[in-house]
Amino acid sequence: MGVSRADGRDAVEAPRHSLVVRVTHWITTVCFFALVITGAEIVISHPRFYWGETGNVNMKPLFTIPIASSRDTVPTGHGYVMPDQNGWSRYLHFEAAWVVVLAGLVYGIAGLVSGHFRKDLWLGRGERSWQAFWGAMARYFRRRPPSEGDAHSYNLMQKLAYLGVIFVLFPLVIWTGLALSPSFNSAFPFWVDVLGGRQSARTLHFFVSWALVLFLVVHVGMVVVAGFWSRTKAMITGNLAQPKERI
């Protein structure tokens, strides 16, 4: 299908994202917002974080978020309590988390079978050096619009970010989330003890979640710089316009 470009050059729609990538991307997007909102409500019920197996209001916290709690039994130094939304928030948080896990499994299996990880995300030989990393950082901070080649492939910074999210942050947020479950703790106590205990897992879960939020902010920012509507359209239709001579 032909399309016109702002510079007057003819362009065609070229494949960019597979159906599996697009479906799992949007499922994860919706669930992620649900997880952030419900996670914030859960934190409000007890905005104190501890390290170890146990933690309660009679113990000194590792740190405290300076907000009022939704429970009057939690000392926060504020003279009021927030509305208690803990019940539905926990239910929706767990439901959304399992949907994300299933979507992640589908994406991961499809990425391995199709070779998406190996072809598109794995670092090439010339990218496995500090010189390549610092060069990519320098190009990133120049804030120049991406080239047409960048629009149809992943640069080094994108690869590192996506690999970190897919193979580090995503598994870690699942692990620390499962560690908060008493049933998981009973069935697999070793995997909870490795984290330092259930309260340590909750603290780590909080920080990993914030790392994912930071990734989302940077990701959306880069999409805006690269062309928000064209990139969003590509994630919906699977195609991205490129010059006809590149086909």
Q: What is the pLDDT of residues 120-172, one digit of tens each?
A: 888 777 777 767 766 766 666 655 555 554 555 677 778 888 899 999 999 99
What is the rounded average pLDDT for all residues in the chain?
Answer: 85
Helix (H, G, I), strand (E, B) or coil at 50: coil
Q: Which residue has the tokens 């501890």?
A: 50
Q: Which pTM was predicted?
A: 0.84
Nearest to 152 by CA among 22, 239, 25: 239
What local confidence, expressed as pLDDT, does residue 147 receive? 52
Domain limits for position 68: 2-246
CATH number at 109 reads 1.20.950.20
Number of domains in the chain: 1
Q: Which residues contact 10 (CB under 8 A, 6 or more apart)?
A: 2, 4, 243, 244
Mean pLDDT value of segment 64-90: 91
pLDDT of residue 237 exceeding 50: yes
The answer to whether 65 and 47 have CB atoms below 8 angstroms apart is yes
Task: Identify the weakest region by mean pLDDT among 75-89, 112-126, 194-208, 209-223.
Answer: 112-126
